[in-house]
Amino acid sequence: MTVHQAAEHLPYELDTPLISAVADAPPPGRGAGALRATLTFAWRVLLKIRHVPEQLLDATLFPIMFTLMFTFVFGGAMIGSPEAYLRYALPGILAQTVVFMTMYTAVTLNTDIERGVFDRFRSQPIWRPAPLVGALLGDTLRYSLASAFVLGIAALIGYRASGGLGGVAGAIALLLVFCFALSWLWLIVGLTVRTPAAVMGASTMILFPLTFVSSAFAPPATMPGWVREFVTVNPVTLLIEAARGLLDGVPDAGDIALVLALSGVMTAVFAPIALRLYTRKV
């Protein structure tokens, strides 16, 4: 008996739109719009956090640990008192925490590809870039949460931002824009290497020198000349200095514009490459 003959013997006709509705999927031929699909994949990131709360360790425990460690271990030696050092180092700790978290979007992407999850996505009538853009938007919440924890623990040990709530909001917003742009680079890595461990290794090798060889924890004037030259042009240094000005209530329009322009360039360069690799991959 052929498939068509078997279908003629069914006691009822299949209601494909009804089946799609029950499965919470768009009916065939209609597909999900770009916004709806993107928000769905952003929600998927949050659901994964709910089911695996250990993912929040990098957004909660590590920021607290770094803030306390750098303030009370290095504060007296670097500037003279933990309080004075906290005011200088907090923008660097904040930037380091969130910038390091940008690699996890690529790790999750690589894991999904390795397990065949994206084969399922490919069969759905959705906007093709939605899984990438949605994952980036979902991870932005993790960046915001990590920023809130860093600022919260700093406030508990005596930090007060001279720039007020406006300066704090501006610094966090600038940080989120920069990290969203930087995440496209790690997506390229996640789509290129074979395993999640390789993604972690490649990202860490780049992020360690960018975050530590910067103005995050020590003034560039105290460094040797060749190190100071690298620190001066380091993109993370530009981000830290712009955030430091906002938090201290002395925002530098030039620094802010430079970070925004750099974020725009990174997105314009890395996003098309990541989307092209993704299209070929899936």
pLDDT at position 7, please? 41
Measured CA to CA, the distance from residue 134 to residue 130 in angstroms comes to 6
Question: ∠ CA(274), CA(276), CA(281), 5° rounding?
Answer: 90
Mind listing the pLDDT tens digit for each residue in 83-122?
Answer: 889 999 999 999 998 998 888 888 888 888 888 777 777 7
Q: How far is CA 282 from the centre of its chain?
A: 22
Could you tell me the residue ranges of all domains in the chain? 34-281
| pLDDT exceeds 70 at position 13 | no
More confident residue, 34 or 269: 269
Q: How far is CA 32 from the centre of its chain?
A: 25
| pLDDT exceeds 90 at position 138 | no
Token pair listed for 125:
């009538």
Percentage of residues in the chain with pLDDT exceeding 90? 38
More confident residue, 259 or 280: 259
Measured CA to CA, the distance from residue 212 to residue 30 in angstroms comes to 49
| pLDDT exceeds 50 at position 2 | no
Q: Which distant-in-sequence residues (6+ apart) come within 8 Å of 150 by Cβ?
A: 63, 64, 66, 67, 90, 93, 94, 97
| pLDDT exceeds 70 at position 29 | no
Neighbours of 215 (CB within 10 A): 25
| pLDDT exceeds 70 at position 54 | no
pTM for the whole structure: 0.81
pLDDT band (50, 70, 90) for residue 17: very low
Please give the average per-residue pLDDT across 250-274, as a whole number: 95
Place of tokens 């406030």: 155
pLDDT band (50, 70, 90) for residue 21: very low
pLDDT band (50, 70, 90) for residue 55: low
| pLDDT exceeds 60 at position 199 | yes
| pLDDT exceeds 70 at position 273 | yes
Percentage of residues in the chain with pLDDT exceeding 70? 85
> Which of 218, 265, 213, 267 has the alpha carbon at shortest distance from 236?
213
Q: Which distant-in-sequence residues (6+ apart) come within 8 Å of 142 by Cβ?
A: 45, 49, 55, 56, 58, 59, 101, 104
| pLDDT exceeds 60 at position 176 | yes
